[in-house]
Chain A
């Protein structure tokens, strides 16, 4: 079974600084998708960024970017110019072409942004 591991239960960053959240996954598939979701105190999961495994170029969305290392099965999230509103639980997730919209989530990383 596919597994997703986030080894950092908690991280903190100063406002305006940069922070990187780590994620590794295990799969034998070649076609898959990776996601970072943010879960603020409201508990609604919000998609931050997604990466298709067949694309070598790392995805970026404004201040959010990923470092996708397919061979190493690593998918880290970099948040630049951190803002107070970035404080949340961040989940790394994995989805396969053949598994519909079923996602496998990591344990999550609680990000604190200090003013």
Chain B
């Protein structure tokens, strides 16, 4: 069974541009969450989606947004990119939005903002 798939794996963007990252969860998983990982701030929760609805949101500015489609695939978007947005963005999926479920992570999308 395929794991969590994230695309693209690597990308370079210019300050001020916007970027969209995609995540396909494990088949049958309906909950998708996103994390940002940086050397300075560590792993920080961005948001969580279930049944096409945002259920949880971390402490990030409105430039960070996401959505989930009816097939549970999710996208996150960052607008007006800043240098500090350079990070590894990790997507995770689970059967349902419940900490008791095992949460599986993808390999991440490396974003570099120049």
Contact = CB atoms under 8 A, between A and B. Distances in A.
Interface in A20-63: 32-33, 35, 37, 42-47, 50, 52
Interface in B34-70: 42-43, 45, 48, 50, 55-56, 58
Interface string B85-111: 000101010101111111111111000
Interface size class of A (residues with CB under 8 A): 20 to 34
B33 interface: yes
A102 B48 contact: yes
Contacts, number: 69
Contacts of A96: 99
13 contacts: A42-B107, A43-B88, A43-B107, A47-B102, A95-B99, A97-B98, A99-B56, A99-B99, A100-B50, A103-B45, A104-B45, A106-B42, A107-B42
Interface of B: 31, 33, 42-43, 45, 48, 50, 55-56, 58, 88, 90, 92, 94, 96-108
